[in-house]
Structure 1
Amino acid sequence: MIPALAVLATTSTGLLVGVELSVAVVVNPILRALPIGAMIDGRAHGARMLGRTMPPWYIGSTTLIAGFSIAAWGTLQAVLALAAAGLLLATVLLSVLVLVPINNRSSTWTAASHPTDWRVQQQRWDRLHGVRVVLLLAALSLVVIAAVAA
């Protein structure tokens, strides 16, 4: 059971990190290179799409890591997985308290209708998303180490 949970937790978290990292280093830089109207429309669409898909993914990954930790309780694997779950929970708190409110606002913006401080809000989101990606990478590293620890 422990090896299966380790593989599932690692895979789910790895894919989650990959999506969030690609948003930071690929998608948003591409969108920033577009004309302003297209960028706003593109980010609004991304906010709506990822706003629907990411919450269940975060919950699922956190649950898998917690299950891995419980199944391996009393071992180094459990300690590492528990630390990874803690980091994932920190990203959830960061998301819910700061990133989601910005995301929810930006999901309604259009090229023709957006606030005057839209750029400041998107820059703040980008910076905090970078922090989230770093935390996620650390969590993934801990899950991988836990998965191979014996």
Structure 2
Amino acid sequence: MLNALEVFTPVIVGLMVGVEFSVAFVINRILDALPGNNGLRGRAHGGRMLGAVMPFWYIGSLVLSAVWAIAGWNTAGAGLVVIAAALLIVSVVMSILLLVPINNRGKTWTPENAPEDWKEQMNRWDRYHYVRVAVIIAAFTLLVIARG
């Protein structure tokens, strides 16, 4: 079981990192460059779609890391896995406290009902997201190193 966790956990976390990295540095830049309010529509749709999937992915990654830490408690990389799990907890807390409230508002916006400051709110979401991406990249890196 430990061998499966050592392979499966970094793969799941790594895929999550890839999605979140692409949102931060590719997709949102493309959406922001669209003319008119098309970027708003794209961000609202992305917020609905990814907002439905990402909670399971974040919590699932955390659970896998915690199970790995417990199952491999007496192994050489256990400390790194514990730190990675702690970083994933930070990412979940950041999501709940900082990103989800903005996303919940943004996913309902249309060009007709968006607030005047929608771009500022999206920029705030982006800044928080950059930090969250750095946190999950660190967690992923630790998991890969712990695999040894």
Shared fold (TM-score greater than 0.5)? yes
Q: Is residue 119 of structure 1 aligned with residue 122 of structure 2?
A: no
**TM-score (structure 2 length as normaliser):** 0.98
SS of the residue corresponding to residue 77 of structure 2 reads helix
How far apart are the structure 1 equivalents of 2:12 and 2:60? Answer: 8
Residues 124-135 of structure 1 aligned to structure 2 (within 5 Å):
124-135=124-135
Aligned position for 1:99: 99
CA–CA distance in structure 1, aligned partners of residues 117 and 33 of structure 2: 19
* 2: CA distance, partners of 1:37 / 1:24: 19
Instruction: Please report how far the alpha carbon of residue 18 of structure 1 lies from its aligned counterpart in structure 2 after TM superposition.
Output: 0.5
Matched, 1:52 2:52: yes
Q: Indicate the residue corresponding to 2:76 in structure 1.
A: 76
Point out 4+ residue stretches in structure 1 off by more than 2 angstroms: none
Q: Residue type matched to 1:93 in 2?
A: V
3-state SS of the aligned residue for 2:28? helix
1:77 deviation in Å?
1.5
TM-score by length of 1: 0.96
CA contact under 8 A between 1:3 and 1:147: conserved in structure 2?
no
Distance 1:144 1:125 in 2: 28
In structure 2, the residue matched to 1:88 is 88
1:4 is matched with 4
Aligned residue-pair number? 148
Q: Equivalent residue for 1:140?
A: 140
Take 2:38 and 2:88, find their aligned partners in 1: how far apart are those partners? 32
Q: Partners of 1:105 and 1:90 in 2: how far apart?
A: 22
Query: Is the Cα–Cα contact under 8 Å of residues 36 and 111 in structure 1 kept in the other structure?
Result: no
2-side partners of 1:75 and 1:8: how far apart? 17
Deviates more, 1:51-60 or 1:71-80: 71-80
Residue 36 of structure 1: how far off its partner (Å): 3.2
Q: Could you tell me how far apart the structure 1 residues matched to 2:74 and 2:7 are?
A: 19
Identity level (%): 53
8 Å contact from structure 1 (residues 37, 112) kept in 2? no
**For structure 2, which runs of at least 5 residues remain unmatched after alignment?**
none
Counterpart of 2:36 in structure 1 is 36
- 1:111 shift after superposition: 1.4
CA distance in 2, matches of 1:69, 1:147: 11
For 2:37, what is the secondary structure of its paired residue? helix
Aligned to 1:27: 27
